[in-house]
Structure 1
Amino acid sequence: MIHNAYSTDGFIRIMRKVIFSIFAVGFLLLLVISLREFQRPAEIIGKDTERVITENCLRSFGIPLLSYTYMITPVEKEFPLAFSLQVYTHPERVIRLLLAIHRPHNLYCVHVDAKSSKQYEQMLILAAECIGPNIFFVPDHQRTKVRWGYFTELEPDLTCSRLLLARGKRWKYWINLTGQEFPIRTNLELVLALRALNGTNLVEAIYRNRYIERLPPEGAVDLNITWFKGSVHVVVRREFVEYMNNDNKAQQLLVALKAHESRANREIFPDEAFFPTLNHNPHVFKIPGAFLGTHEETVTGMIQRLKIWKISGEPCGSGRFIRFICMLGIGDLPRLFTAPNFFANKFMPDIEPIAYDILEFWLASKTAFEAVHGVPHSSFNLSYYATHVMAWNHL
C-alpha cells in the first residue's frame, strides 16, 4: 500500500494551523477579559491632543494601526534610550514597530537601505513626521547599499550610532533593531531591566563553533585579543558606543575585518564579530560594562533577543525558517508572553501574521496597564535581570 507522504504532511500542517488559530482566538478572548481593567474610560486615562493628531495623521496611510496609551514615568525620563533601525522592506511593519517603541524623550535613527525605492523612503519619512520629531533618517549621502554577510551590514549601525551620539547628549543605552522585529518589553520594562542589569553591555559572544574562517587571522591586529563571534543584536551603554567610534584600538578591529573580507572575497559577517570581540576582551578594551566571564559557559540565551535558530532544535511555531532563523508564528506566542527577552526576531507579514497582531495587542495592553497603575504588569520579573550573571560580572 502506497501512502502519500506529501498529503499526510499537508494535512498535519493544516490541522496544526487550525489548532493554533483556535488557540489564538481563545487567547484573545481571555486576554480581553483578564485585562479588561486596562481599558479605562477616557476621563481616567485620556488621550492627549498630540496622540490624537498622530493617529489621525497615520490613518492617511491606510494602515490599520493600534492605539497605544502610555504614561512616561520619572524613571523613564531619567533614562532615555537611543534606537537605530535598519530597514528595507515592509513599510507597514516598520511603522508599527516605530509606534510600539516610540517615546518623546528617546531618540531614533532610521537607516533606509540605499537600494530601496525613493517612494519607500518617503512613505517612512512622512509616517515618522506623524509620530514624533525625535525620529530622524540617515541622509542620502550616508546611506549604504546593504549586502547580506558583508561589511555593509555593519555600516548602517555604525552610521546611526555616530549620528545618535551627535544628536543626543543624555541617552544611556543604544539598541539596534531591524524592521522584522517587535518588542516584548514596554519602554518602562526596558528601563527597569537595564537599571537592574547594573550597567552591563548585552552582547552575545561565542568562542567554540565560531566559524574561524570568517575571522581575521592571528596577528591581523597588533593587540592581544581573542576574536569572538556572536549576534549583531546588542544593547550597549553610551560609553561602549563612544569607544567603538572613537578609540584607535576599536578602529583597528574594523580595519582588520575590512581587510579580511577583501582577501576572502566572500561574506564573513563582520557585524557578528565586531561587537562580541570589543565586549569580551576587557584586558584590552576597557569599556564600561564589558563582560568579564566566558559568555557561552555562564550565559544561556540572549536577553536582548528571542531568536530561534534551526540548529538549536527548539520548536518553531510556524515551522518556517529563512536563512536558518525561525519565522515566528502563533505557536511561539506562549513562549513570547513569558520570555524575559527584550525583542523578538523575526516576523514576516506573509507567515502567520496574526501572531504579530496578538503580540502587538499584548504590548499595548501592558502599556495601558502601566498608565492606570503606574507600575509594570505582574508578568514582568525584575529579579531575573537583577540576579543575572551579566548584572555583576562586568567592568
Structure 2
Amino acid sequence: MFKKSRLIVAAVSLAIVLYAINSRQLFVKYDIKTGVTFNKQPSAMHMNQTFSTRSSIKNEVIQKTLGKPKKQVTNTELEFNSFKIKNINCANVLKGDESAIAEARKQPRNIPSYKTLIKHTENCDLFKQVYGYNNILNTEEEKQFPIAFNILLYKDVAQVEILLRAIYRPQNYYCLHVDGFSPDHVHKAAKSLADCFDNVFIVSKTENIVYQSFQRLQADLNCMADHLAKPDWKYLINLPSQELPIKTNLQIVRILKLLNNTNQVGCTRGIGIIMKRFLHRYDYVYDENGTYKIVNTLEKYKLPPHHFLTAKGTAYVLLTHQFVKYVLTSQIAKDVLDWCRGILSPDEYYWSMLNFNHHVPVPGSGQEACLKVTELSTYVSWAITKTPDECHGKWLRHICVFSAGDLKMLVNRAELFANKFELEYSYPAIQCLSEWLHNQTLSPQAIDTQFYKRLYLKKITYQLDLWTNLKPIQFNETDL
C-alpha cells in the first residue's frame, strides 16, 4: 500500500513538471544563432521575471559581442575637447621653429566663451573632472606653502578660468575682483566659476575702475582684506586676468622660499619716477550715469606724510603675509594711502613707497636700496624703452600682446608670470604655454637657486641708501 502511494505521488509530480515545461514552450523561442532564449508573449504573471531575464541575457550577449561598454562622452567633454587646436606642434613652437609658429597662426580655432563656462559649471563635479582640476599634481612641499592670489578682471572669464587652472592648488586662495563697470554676464560667469571651489571667491566689495584711478589700487586692497580671514597663507601675488604663469606652482613656492619672507617690489628713482603724476592734485569728476574721469586740478599737491619720499614701481608685486597685514592695520600705511588718492596710477607708487622708505620699519622690506630692483612678479614687454623689448605679437598701448612666436623667450625668463595675452589673438600661445606648464608639473624642472637667492642676499647686504638715516628732512621738488 505504501509503495503504491509513493508511485502515485511520483507520477503526479512528473505530470506537473511536464506540464510546466510544455507551458513555457508556449511563450519562449530559441535563437539558434546566439544560443539565447527570448520571450514571445509572456503572461502578466511572468512579465517581471521574463523581462529581467531577457535584459540580463541581452546585456550579456552585447558584452560578449562588443566587449565592455564604452564610457559615454558628455557634451561638456565634447565641447572642452573642441577648444583644443588640433594641428599645432607645441614642442616645435616652444623651440622657436618658424614653420611651426606660422602653421599655428593659420589653424582654425574654437574659442571658449562665458556662455560655455556658465553652462559647464552648472555641474561642478563634472566640470572639475573634465577640465582637469581633480588630477593636478600637488606635492607635500606645495601643500605646506599656501599662496593667496588676487585676480582682477573685467572681461573674458573663460581666459580667467585658463589662468586659474594653471595656478590652482586646493591649499591656495583666489580672490576674483570683477570690475564694477563690467557687463552682468561677466559677473555671472565669474560667480559660476567661483562657486565650484571652496577656495575661490568673489571679492566682498567691488570697485568701478578707470585707467590710472585710485580704484585700481583699492580693488587689490579689498581682496587683501578678504584674504586676511584665511590665516595660513605665506605670500600674496596680485594678477590681472590677462597674465599667465611661466613657472609652475612648485617652482613659485621654491622661489618665494628663497626670498626668505621679504617682499619683492619694483622701485625707480630719477627720471623714471614720472613727477607729473603727483606734482598736482587729481580729482574725480562723476557723470550722471556713474562713470567718472580723472582731472588735473593744476593745484600743487601736498607732500607725502611721515617724511616719505616718492618711489615708483609697478602694480604687480610679491608681498609677505605680514606686509599685507601691516598695510591694512598700520596708521602710517593708511596715511600714505590717503595721499595716493590724489595722484595718477597710485598702484605703481604705493607698494614701492611703503617698501623702500627705510626710516619706517615695514615687515618684509629688508634694507635694499631703490636702485635697479628686479621686478620678479611679472614680465612685461614694453615698446617705450630706449631699446624696445622683443615682441612677435602686437603692440597695444605700448605693451606687447604675446603670440606663439614669443614663447621661446618667455619660458626662459626668470619672472613668475607674463603679461599680456588676449584670449582670441593669443590663443595658440595660450594653448602651447598651458601644455608646457602641464608637462613641467609632471616632470619638475630645477630653478636657478643662486639667482633667486641673490635677490634676498642683496636685500640684507646692500649698503643702506640715504633714505634710511634722513632725520630732519628738508623737502623740495627736486627731492621728489
Cα deviation per residue 1:72-111 (whole Å; 9 max; x = unaligned)? 2222222111001111111110011111111111111111
The residue that corresponds to 1:324 in the other structure is 398
Residue aligned with 2:207, SS: coil
The residue correspondences of 1:240-319 to structure 2 (distance < 5 A) are 240-258=323-341, 260-261=342-343, 268-284=344-360, 286-297=361-372, 299=373, 301-312=374-385, 313-319=387-393
Residue 242 of structure 1: CA displacement? 0.7
Closer, same or farther: CA 222–305 of 1 in aligned 2, 3 Å: closer
Of residues 309-318 and 331-340 in structure 1, the stretch that sits farther from structure 2 once superposed is 309-318
1:84 to 126, 150, 172: 150
- 1:31-82 superposed Cα distances (whole Å, 9 cap, x missing partner): xxxxxxxxxxxxxxxxxxxxxx86732699xxxx567843322222221110
SS at structure 2 position matched to 1:89: coil
Counterpart CA distance in 2 for 1:66 and 1:74 is 19
AA partner of residue 150 (structure 2)? S
2:251 counterpart residue number? 189
Residues 330-363 of structure 1: per-residue CA shift (max 9 Å, x gap): 2211111111110011111233421121111111
1:134 corresponds to which of 178, 199, 205: 199
Q: Does 1:201 align with 2:263?
A: yes
| TM-score for the superposition, normalised by structure 2 | 0.63
Q: Which residue in 1 is equivalent to 2:314?
A: 231
| Pairing of 1:1-395 with structure 2 (within 5 A) | 22-24=99-101, 56-57=126-127, 69-130=135-196, 132-139=197-204, 142-166=205-229, 168-208=230-270, 209-215=272-278, 220-258=303-341, 260-261=342-343, 268-284=344-360, 286-297=361-372, 299=373, 301-312=374-385, 313-369=387-443, 376-378=444-446, 380-388=447-455, 392-393=459-460
Are the structure 2 counterparts of residues 173 and 366 from structure 1 closer, same or farther at C-alpha, using a change threshold of 3 Å? same
Give the paired residue count.
327
Deviation at 1:393, TM superposition (A): 2.7
Q: CA deviation at 1:163?
A: 0.6
Q: CA deviation at 1:191?
A: 0.8
Structure 2: which amino acid aligns with 1:75?
A: E
State how far apart, in whole Å, the 1-side matches of 2:166 and 2:426 are. 20
SS at match of 1:203: coil
> Which structure 2 segments of 5+ residues have no match?
1-95, 105-122, 280-299, 465-480
**3-state SS, counterpart of residue 310 of structure 1:** coil
Query: Aligned partners of 1:145 and 1:219: how far apart in 2?
Result: 26
Could you say if the C-alpha distance between residues 389 and 58 of structure 1 is closer, same or farther in structure 2, counting changes exceeding 3 Å?
Answer: closer
Unaligned runs of at least 5 residues, structure 1 = 1-18, 28-52, 262-267, 370-375
Structure label with greater radius of gyration: 2
SS class of match (1:160): helix
Aligned equivalents of 1:117 and 1:219: distance in 2? 37
Q: Label 1:377 to 1:183 Cα distance change in 2 as closer, same or farther (>3 A).
A: same
CA contact (8 A) 2:393 2:406 kept: no
Greater relative contact order (CA < 8 Å, ≥ 6 in sequence) = 1
CA apart distance, 1:169: 0.7
